[in-house]
Structure 1
Amino acid sequence: AAMAITLEQILGDRLAEGTVNIPEGTVPRKAGHKIKFVEAEHPIPSESGMEGTKQMLDLVSELGSRDLVICLISGGGSALMPLPAEGIELGELQEVTQLLLKSGATIQEVNAVRKHLSAVKGGQLARAAYPAKIITLIISDVVGDRLDTIASGPTYWDLTTYRDAFSVLEKYKLTEKVSPSIIARLRNGVRGAIPETPKLGEECFRNAYYKIIASNADALEMAVEAGRAHDLNVHVLTTTMQGEACQVGEHLARVAKAVCQAGKPIPVP
């Protein structure tokens, strides 16, 4: 929401209109007048998120080559922008998302499936907006800042395929647990019966530009500065940690215990 408010303040009357999906309960008190805020659920896709995403698609679908789209992306975008592909119901998308999250699949694996069950992810929003120019401003919560992974890359070319998506379901033994319509879509995609998500070199990316304006690494730097300002011994263990929250939490607890007991790998704060 803060990104959208700031953008409207900067652009003023040059901004025609816009719509943004945000987490429930985060509607700003002092919103602008040209950008609509739609509350949606996270991490499981919701009906309200789907309606907001439809509005986004409607906004960009009739644009011409002289128009400019500014896409604002931050953490949680994959869940906040659900719009199932033709033949897929929202409930089926919710179910497969829950199964993938419970299975321990990585964010890259989850997004590979999401992209191929979506009407906007994996570069499909850029395809819908073409021939308009697109500038995407991004706050990244993804390790490595991969543009195809952040919010499932709605304006960035997809590096995964239907085969990749189907392989994820096979890997976690979910092919018998998800809806038959999901399996049918992925199999149709694998055999080329339906179009792939947009890939590098396609015309819709000719006038697309991307800028990461903040990331996890930036947040860590600010945390370090804040800690040192209070005379704390601050040390960044890693910027690439991934995994199940419970397992990562146990690892961090062991590190904290070692610091308290032995002053390693850093002195006691």
Structure 2
Amino acid sequence: MTANHITLLRAGFSAAVQAAQAKYALPPYLPTPPSGRTIVIGMGKAGAAMAQAVENAWQGDKSQLSGVVVVPYGSTLPTQRIRLIEAAHPVPDHNSVQASQQIHQAVHALSADDLVICLISGGGSSLLSLPATGLTLEAKQQLSQQLLHSGASIDEINIVRKHLSAIKGGRLAAACYPARVVNLIISDVPGDDPSHIASGPTVADPSSAQAALQILQHYAIALSPTIQHGLQSCAWESIKADDPRLARVQTHVIATPHTALQAAATLYQEQGYTPLVLGDTIEGEAKEVAKVMAAIVKYCQKHGQPAAAPAVLLSGGETTVQVKGNGCGGRNVEFLLALLITLKDQFPYAALAADTDGVDGAAPVAGAFITDQSWNKALALGLDPMDYLQRQDAHQFFQRLDQQLITGPTQTNVNDFRAILLPA
């Protein structure tokens, strides 16, 4: 494998990220300006770029435009009318609560002539955090940490989040009533269900408090009496589809993982590679998904099916990592490490796996890349790949190997991107 193959992998990732940028995806979905005020609210890793895109493309009276959007630390962009507040991800902090309170206040006492534009993207569940009545931030933080390390899927985690919140699960939409609400969403979840993206603050929630309780019990997470009672009594139930306060809510998903994968597929095809898109909703343990992908790669290499080299296997979704060792997790790097352990140096290949938001797990690293030379390079450095995998310490492994992918904040989030290149 050559440096050109790594460059090509990086180019595919860049194409995927670029396709999901708000400045391209958002303007066509902006609603007609109202006779009253326009309030822009939002939450998520793409929040700053989305707010900027609204300001640049808005055709109404900009003196009637204002708002509050909460974004991760270090990801702000210049805005004039929409105020950006920084908060923590993936575990909420006090800024998450203050931002939620200010967003709640921004939509207080609106009229039917007013418009709320809600900008939603992945990461919003943590950034927008207002604990349910009787629940403390500290209790939510502790529970969030446990859930993130439990191996629970993102859908399961978000069902719990919605039922421990005073603002998610449709509650923010209810607070906007009777104003018209237009949701503009960049999806980071498998299946693109708006009720799961940022835990659905402005859409109806089909899940139940009982379901949230069952998820917590399934993953053996200890519950305080307050949480137990709040969920069992249904005192913390979310907003359902028949609630009249949701009658004026309109939702548009403006960018998706599929969008990103198709952009990468087009780039690779132009470079002479046959793209095989395996899906954008792939879930499961990262290391187990890697075994399946490795099997497909081997079959392609041996039989030329389902794609013959030169080819590239593309996939997205959101895998999970059960952090039991002393590492910091990272589903994309764990996927790659498991893939490397399976494929080793058997034949020419290169692979890249990264989170499109630029952060894989708790580390400020998007992901990593490997080639058929990485196995022997690791052994020459005295690294034991299996030891790093067992300790969920793949980030450290790829740092030692000098094969990390570091992008900084990408201003979007359409979930994981995985590409496995098979040259001719």
TM-score (norm 1): 0.91
Query: Contact 1:112–1:160 at 8 Å: present in 2 too?
Result: yes
Q: Closer, same or farther in 2 for the Cα pair 1:44/1:195, shift >3 Å?
A: closer
**1:85 equivalent in structure 2:** 132
Q: Does 1:7 align with 2:54?
A: yes
Partner Cα distance (2:72, 2:292) in 1: 30
**2:261 equivalent in structure 1:** 220
Mapping for residues 1-269 of structure 1, pairs under 5 Å: 1-11=48-58, 13=62, 15-28=64-77, 31-174=78-221, 177-189=222-234, 194=235, 196-269=237-310
Partner Cα distance (1:195, 1:79) in 2: 18
Q: Closer, same or farther in 2 for the Cα pair 1:261/1:79, shift >3 Å?
A: farther
Partner Cα distance (2:69, 2:137) in 1: 19
1:39-88 per-position Cα deviation (integer Å, ceiling 9, x unaligned) = 22222122222211111111012212111100001111112211111111
Q: Closer, same or farther in 2 for the Cα pair 1:230/1:197, shift >3 Å?
A: same
Partner Cα distance (1:245, 1:180) in 2: 34
Which has the larger displacement, 201-210 or 244-253? Answer: 244-253
Partner Cα distance (1:15, 1:151) in 2: 27
Partner Cα distance (2:107, 2:93) in 1: 22
Query: Contact 1:21–1:81 at 8 Å: present in 2 too?
Result: yes
Partner Cα distance (1:253, 1:94) in 2: 36
Partner AA of 1:5 in structure 2 = Q
Partner AA of 1:47 in structure 2 = H
Query: Contact 2:99–2:128 at 8 Å: present in 1 too?
Result: yes
Partner Cα distance (2:116, 2:126) in 1: 21
Query: Contact 2:132–2:236 at 8 Å: present in 1 too?
Result: no
Partner Cα distance (1:196, 1:136) in 2: 22
Which has the larger displacement, 47-56 or 250-259? Answer: 250-259
Partner Cα distance (2:275, 2:288) in 1: 23
Partner Cα distance (1:114, 1:200) in 2: 18
Partner AA of 1:179 in structure 2 = S
1:155-177 per-position Cα deviation (integer Å, ceiling 9, x unaligned) = 11110111111111122222xx2
Partner AA of 2:76 in structure 1 = V
Unpaired runs of 5+ in structure 1?
A: none
Query: Contact 1:19–1:38 at 8 Å: present in 2 too?
Result: yes
Query: Which of the two has higher C-alpha Rg?
Result: 2
Q: Closer, same or farther in 2 for the Cα pair 1:43/1:20, shift >3 Å?
A: same
Partner Cα distance (1:15, 1:249) in 2: 51
Partner AA of 2:280 in structure 1 = T
Partner Cα distance (2:159, 2:63) in 1: 36
Partner Cα distance (1:21, 1:227) in 2: 35
Residue 13 of structure 1: how far off its partner (Å): 0.8
Residue 6 of structure 1: how far off its partner (Å): 0.6
Partner Cα distance (1:43, 1:255) in 2: 33
Residue 8 of structure 1: how far off its partner (Å): 1.0
Partner Cα distance (2:186, 2:169) in 1: 17
Partner Cα distance (2:224, 2:233) in 1: 15
Residue 261 of structure 1: how far off its partner (Å): 4.9
By percentage of residues, which structure has more helix? 1
Residue 260 of structure 1: how far off its partner (Å): 4.2
Unpaired runs of 5+ in structure 2?
A: 1-47, 311-424
Q: Closer, same or farther in 2 for the Cα pair 1:260/1:17, shift >3 Å?
A: same
Partner Cα distance (1:80, 1:202) in 2: 26
Query: Contact 2:209–2:236 at 8 Å: present in 1 too?
Result: no
Q: Closer, same or farther in 2 for the Cα pair 1:76/1:249, shift >3 Å?
A: farther
Query: Contact 1:73–1:137 at 8 Å: present in 2 too?
Result: yes
Partner AA of 1:83 in structure 2 = L
Partner Cα distance (2:223, 2:105) in 1: 30
Residue 254 of structure 1: how far off its partner (Å): 3.8
By percentage of residues, which structure has more strand? 2
Query: Contact 1:49–1:82 at 8 Å: present in 2 too?
Result: yes
3-state SS of paired residue (1:87): coil
Identity across aligned pairs (percent)? Answer: 39
Query: Contact 1:8–1:15 at 8 Å: present in 2 too?
Result: no
Which has the larger displacement, 96-105 or 197-206? Answer: 96-105
